[in-house]
Structure 1
Amino acid sequence: MGHWQPLPTPSGPIEAWREEPAGPSRGAVVVVQEIFGVTDHIRAVCAQLAAAGFVALAPAFFDRLAPGTVLPYDAEGTARGRELVARLGLEDAVAIAAAAAGALRAQGLAVGIVGFCWGGTVALLGNTRLGLPAVSYYGARNVPYLDAPARAPLMFHFGALDPHIPPEAVEAHRRKQPQAQVFVYPQADHAFARAPDPPYQPEAAALAWQRTLAFFTEHLR
């Protein structure tokens, strides 16, 4: 059963949602939210990681600006989420991810990072700046940051139908990060892994998750 725990960060304390495996840990994963906060979807990702044997920690990135914020997946929620991530900025977001990774490492755990949408770009930066094995799901803001060399294994997931990430953007990932694993799912749109509501695409989500767990199993030994 998950629970909230305090997480000290350079900009002040925030809360983070934590899930623990029932048995011995295989490592730990920092889970980075979309622009909507630590939603049921993000907590479900944490639970799935714990079921697979990983400690999962999802910082509430918006706590410094608007504590406890969880937004609906509608136009109003999207607008508010974009406002909050713009105010937070990627530099502070990476600092929060670093604080979460540091807290997990202090417990003797090997640490990776996974993120979704906006969080997918934070996960990419967690790799290039923090040296964390990273899985980035449909990071629409990735392209400007692809020139930095990877410092750990890296995996990307994209939906072929995603209007926010055109084919040339996906190709930029392949060209600029040739060592990375890049997967494109033909019937999937943006946010295809966010169950249960559309644009959730269960077949693509299941395959991407299988690949994600295999990635962390290999690289967090």
Structure 2
Amino acid sequence: MGHTISLNTTRTQCIGAYLAQPAGKPKGGIVVIQEIFGVNAHVRSVTDRFAEAGYTAIAPCFFDHLETGVELGYDEAGFTRGRALVAELGLDRALEDVASAAEAIASAGRIGTVGYCWGGTVALLAALRLGLPSVSYYGARNLPFLGEKPKAPVMFHFGELDKSIPPDMVQKHREMLPQMELFTYPADHAFNRDVGDHYDEASAKLAYQRTLAFFDKHLAHGA
């Protein structure tokens, strides 16, 4: 459905991005922020799905700063390589790329972000620092940033069986950002990833409905 474009960044290097357009006039734009595995088939399908829901959707290939065309599997080698890449990339450079991607689709209207795992924390930062309404799925790196004053609303999704984000971490989100919507599900980490062992269809479907409602409110209706 979508296609790869070249995305100018605030640095000298261009990176790739997967862009998917809706059939009609867009309701707004969404920057889709990957897990640690690159813009792989799953991320492209997620991006396509938001386009099918009426939004211009773009998934920046953050890892192109380091290595072109990274698409990792969900085995131990993929986890190890992905963790090393996000550590080398850093959150600041990722956030710069989110801003560049948002600018690239600005003609779609109001822009928001959605991120998963590592991308969940980048999405949180996009709300805190860039003023983009954002949905953060199971961001395990969120805690250091919860004290920042948000510039836009953010919705959180967490799995109740997620060992990387125990209940006390989830509670910190409620305490530090009580004005934001937060939902938990009887599922594990990565419950939205429909190609992994942790996929939970019922939880993923409900979280997606809530996510679309969030974007329809804050982007489509310009709240």
TM-score (norm 2): 0.96
Task: State the partner residue of 2:40.
Answer: 39
Task: State the partner residue of 1:17.
Answer: 18
Deviation at 1:197, TM superposition (A): 2.7
Please identify, of 10-19 and 128-137, the stretch whose mean Cα deviation from structure 2 is larger: 10-19
Task: State the partner residue of 2:170.
Answer: 170
Deviation at 1:44, TM superposition (A): 1.0
Q: Unpaired runs of 5+ in structure 1?
A: none
Whole-Å separation in 2 of the counterparts to 1:108 and 1:172: 35
Task: State the partner residue of 1:184.
Answer: 184
Give the AA of the match of 1:55: T
* Counterpart secondary structure, 2:105: helix
Task: State the partner residue of 2:198.
Answer: 199
Q: Deviations over 1:36-65 (max 9, x none)?
A: 000111111111101110000000000010
* Counterpart secondary structure, 1:169: helix
* Counterpart secondary structure, 1:179: coil
Task: State the partner residue of 2:211.
Answer: 212
Q: Unpaired runs of 5+ in structure 2?
A: none
Whole-Å separation in 2 of the counterparts to 1:44 and 1:16: 14
Whole-Å separation in 2 of the counterparts to 1:122 and 1:153: 14
State whether structure 2 residue 97 is matched by structure 1 residue 103.
Answer: no
- Is residue 26–residue 108 contact of structure 2 (8 Å, CA) maintained in 1? no
Whole-Å separation in 1 of the counterparts to 2:61 and 2:195: 22
Q: Deviations over 1:146-177 (max 9, x none)?
A: 10011111100000000000000000000000
Give the AA of the match of 1:31: V
Give the AA of the match of 2:80: A
* Counterpart secondary structure, 1:140: coil
Q: Cα–Cα, structure 1 residues 108 and 72, in superposed 2: closer, same or farther, change >3 Å? A: closer
State whether structure 2 residue 28 is matched by structure 1 residue 53.
Answer: no
Aligned sequence identity (%): 53
Task: State the partner residue of 2:123.
Answer: 123
Task: State the partner residue of 2:76.
Answer: 75
Q: Deviations over 1:117-167 (max 9, x none)?
A: 000000000001100000000000001111001111110000000000000
Give the AA of the match of 1:85: V
Q: Deviations over 1:84-132 (max 9, x none)?
A: 0010001101001111111122x25210000000000000000011000
Whole-Å separation in 1 of the counterparts to 2:108 and 2:7: 17
Number of matched residues? 219
Runs of 4+ in 1 over 4 A off after TM superposition: none
Task: State the partner residue of 2:138.
Answer: 138
Task: State the partner residue of 1:90.
Answer: 91
Whole-Å separation in 1 of the counterparts to 2:132 and 2:25: 21
Whole-Å separation in 2 of the counterparts to 1:93 and 1:197: 25
Task: State the partner residue of 1:113.
Answer: 113
Give the AA of the match of 1:91: D
